[in-house]
Amino acid sequence: MIPVTKPYLPSREKLDRYIDGIYERQLLTNNGPLVEELTRRLEEHLEVENLLLVSNGTLALQIAYRALGISGGEASAEAITTPFTFVATASSLKWEGVDPVFVDIDADTWCLDPELVESAISPRTRAIVPVHVFGNACDVESIDDIGRLHGLKVVYDASHAFGVDYKGESLLKHGDAATLSFHATKLFHTGEGGAIIFKRKEDLERAKKMINFGITGPESIEELGINAKMNELQAAMGLCVLDEMETNMAARHAVWETYERELAASVQLQKQSSNLTYNSAYFPAVFESESVAVQMADFLKENGILARRYFFPSLETVDILGHKDRQPVSSDIAGRILCLPIYSELTSTEQRRIVTLVRRCG
């Protein structure tokens, strides 16, 4: 069976050397030397500052909300976000006591439509939480302007945007914070893990306290905290994956280009923002109708290929998230979308087979 994605596994020999060091030091967590090294190297690789490693991408969002004062207050709060995303974007808000208010997406880019954001702002609104969907850049200029005009924090869920540049600099520099997921299936991963990139140093320093139970010294607790630290084993995996990023990205980009060349006339593709350096992390394709998309997924599975209805369902339809207003563009795209297999080890023979089957069923 060809999976929709596969974790990138770096050099075992190099990973073993890092693990040998962990055994020698007998230090497994609490901001060890590998976490410190990975922090420095990621800031250099991504050309960002104020990066904080955490244990997963969902906690990255929750810590960002807390550090920026979006959650944790006495009054009930809302945050405007997109329904076309992985559930963690919205459920992390709900978990933190912030009601997600869904606003529809642009029909071409599939990112939050800034023209609809202002009309959704209420006295309870504390933040805007857009998503760089599949690594495509939101209209960051418009969204950041709205945030400044109305005194709202902007937290970008940038889980898919590792290594993406926009207008010549890292996309992760926009907003008050941007969060990353380093889950095993991501382009860059630490097995599990995540990171937050803060605009301001003071927000980083507050978040550092939060991820270690609020502890600031042997007998000092200054914040309401939680355990969200990345450990040394996660950092070891990340350092090895980072060493091989160029090879990994080149292989995935070659797969992406094959799909684009062979399928652009058959399916609707996401319109990428201009001035974007794309990371080829996903290949989403939108079909003529939901019935065609479901039929395609079943047909591919019968032929040993897993495609994923990602993102489905549109989150305004999820009862536990509490916001019922239908978002027609998101619902439409969510019903018709499939992500096709893409990972560095996908062979040219497998790529041709997938293309042939998609064309045959489509």
Higher pLDDT, 314 or 360: 314
CB atoms within 10 A of CB 217: 7
Identify whether 186 is a catalytic site residue: yes
Residue 5 domain-assigned? no
Q: What is the pLDDT of residues 185-243, one digit of tens each?
A: 999 999 999 999 999 999 999 999 999 999 988 889 988 999 999 999 999 999 999 99
What's at 102, amino acid-wise? F
Q: Which of 6, 167, 173, 186 is catalytic?
A: 186
pLDDT at 45 over 90: yes
Same domain membership, residue 210 and residue 105: yes
Residue 299 domain-assigned? yes
Rounded Cα–Cα distance for residues 39 and 169 (Å): 19
For residues 17, 53, 189, 282, the Cα torsion angle rounded to the nearest 10 degrees is: -160
Same domain membership, residue 179 and residue 64: yes
For the domain that residue 131 is a member of, what is the CATH number?
3.40.640.10
Q: What is the pLDDT of residues 74-126, one digit of tens each?
A: 678 999 999 999 999 999 999 999 999 999 999 999 999 999 999 999 999 99
| Residue 78, strand partner residues | 99, 125
pLDDT of residue 74: 66
For the chain, what is the domain count?
Answer: 2
Same domain membership, residue 295 and residue 233: no
Same domain membership, residue 285 and residue 222: no
Residue 3 domain-assigned? no
pLDDT at 73 over 80: no
Same domain membership, residue 225 and residue 264: no
- Strand order, beta sheet including 153-157: 51-54, 194-198, 177-181, 153-157, 125-129, 77-81, 98-102
Same domain membership, residue 230 and residue 270: no
* The pTM of the whole model exceeds 0.75: yes
Same domain membership, residue 93 and residue 55: yes
3-state SS of the chain: helix, strand, coil percent to 5?
45, 15, 40
pLDDT at 276 over 70: yes
Same domain membership, residue 255 and residue 183: no
User: Which of 192, 218, 242 marks a domain boundary?
Assistant: 242
